[in-house]
Amino acid sequence: MTTTWEIETLESGLRVVTTPVSTAQSVSVNVFVGVGSRAEKPRTNGLSHYLEHMMFKGTDRRPTSIHIAEAIEGAGGVLNAYTSQEVTCYWNQVPFDKLTLAMDVLADMMLHAKIEQEEVDRERTVVQQEIRRAYDQPSAWASHLLSEASFGDQPLGWPVAGTLETVEEMNRDDLTNHISTWYVPENMVLSVAGNTTHAEVVAAARDLFGGLTGEAPPPVSTATDGTPERNVIVEARDITQSNMAISLRALSRTDPDRYALLILNAILGRGMSSRLFKEVRERRGLAYAIGSGVTRYNDTGTLSISAGVSPEDVSEATKVIKAELMKLVDEPVGEAEMTKARDYSIGSFRLSLETPMALAQRTGELLLMLGEIEPIDDVVAKIGAITAADVQRVAKRLFRNDNLSMSLVGPGADEATLAAVLAA
C-alpha cells in the first residue's frame, strides 16, 4: 500500500500536510518550527529548548501547565515536545474523534503562551536539572562532548539545552523575542496523520491557526568546514567504564550520496550483524554495546560511533574501530553483505513508518526543512539501487585522518594519546 499525503499552504503562509490512515484509531498532531540551537548566540545558547519548556506553561484559556496536560490526557492522549539543532516540534496524539481538541490545544499554545516571569524563573531550575541529568549520564555526556570535538566553538558544537550559566542569564524578553522572530507562519508546518481527512484538518487549521502572523525569519549561518584543532576531548571520571565516541563530518540532508551513506552505516554499525558489532564485541569482547548512526543537517552532517569499554581497552578499541573504517575504503563490500544491508535499510525504514505519529513526524520535518516530501517508494528504490562502488566512494570521501574527532568520558586515556591513535 502506498502512503499518500496532501499539502496546502494557508493564506498566512502556514503549510499544512495531512497523511490519512483510515484504519488508525488515533491522530497525531505536530507543529514544527524551523529553529533550534544552531540559530542561537553564545549568550542565548539553549534558548530554543528553554522556550520549548515555557510554551507548556499556560495560556489565557488554559492558565497552567496542568490545564494543558489535562486537556490532552483527559481525552486519552499524550503530549510532548523536543528541540534539536534545527527544529523545535510540539506534538500530541489522541483518539481520532478528539482531533479538533488536539489541534486547539497546540494552536492555543503557539498563539497565546503567556510566558509569565514567575514561570520563567521556576522553569529555569528545571532546565538546569535536565542539563545536570545529562552530565550524570556518561554516555550522554560523551555525545555532548563529541559535538564540540566535531564542530568546535560554533552553534553545532554547542549543547542544545545550553549550559547552567547561559540558562541562568536568560530572561523573558529573550523568550518573547524568540517567538516573534521564529514562530511565524512561513517558518512553521502543521503535520497531521491518522484517521482523518485533509479537508477536516485544513478547515480546523484555518479556524484555529488563523491568528499566526510575522515576517520571514532571518537566515541561519552555515557551519564552518574542517575539524577543530582540539578534535579529541577527554573528561576523566572515576567510573568503571570508559564511554567513547568517534565522529566524522558527513553529509547534508540533500547530498546525492546520502543513500549510499545509509547503506555504509548499516554495514558498519547497525544491528548485531554489523561489522563493528561482530569485530568489537563478538570476536574481541571489547564492548557490550557498540553502534553507529548518521545525523544530517541542512548543510553538513555526522557519522558517529559510540561504545563503552574497559579503561585498559580504550586504545585497542579505537584502533579496531578505525581499522574497520579503513577496510571500507580499501575493499569493496561483497554482494551478499550489500544485499543484506540494502534489505536491512529498506526494512527498517518501512518499519519506522508504522504509526500515525511516525508518518506525521516524517512529512512535517521534510516539508519544513526541504519544502517537499520524498515519496516512500522513491526512497526504497534509491536505497535498493546503491552499489558496492557507491559505498566505497563515500567511504573514501569521509574516512580520512583529517576528518576524525573523538570524545571520552571516564578513565583510560588522555587527549594526546587518543589523538595519536586517530592519526596513525
Among candidate residues 205, 219, 207, 215, the one with its CA nearest the CA of residue 185: 215
- Residues in a beta bridge with 26: 95
Dmax (CA) for the chain in angstroms is: 63
CA distances from 316 to 29, 322, 413 (A): 47, 10, 11
138 within 8 A of 410, measured Cβ to Cβ: yes
Residue 116 CA to residue 404 CA, distance in Å, equals 45
| Residue 100 dihedral angles phi and psi, to the nearest 5° | -60, -40
Which of 52, 86, 119, 148 is flagged as catalytic? 52
**Residue 52 is among the residues annotated as catalytic for this protein:** yes
Angle at which helices 314-330 and 388-398 cross, to 10°:
130
Residue 189 CA to residue 88 CA, distance in Å, equals 11
176: enclosing H helix or E strand? helix 172-182
CA distances from 360 to 102, 108, 204, 207 (A): 14, 20, 17, 21
Given 3-state DSSP classes, what are the helix, strand and coil percentages for the chain, each rounded to the nearest 5? 50, 20, 35
> Ramachandran region of residue 401, left (φ > 0), alpha (ψ -120 to 50) or beta?
alpha
Torsion angle of C-alpha atoms 222, 227, 228, 231, degrees rounded to 10:
140
CA distances from 379 to 192, 258, 271, 347 (A): 21, 11, 21, 12
412 within 8 A of 314, measured Cβ to Cβ: yes
> Active-site residues: which are they?
52
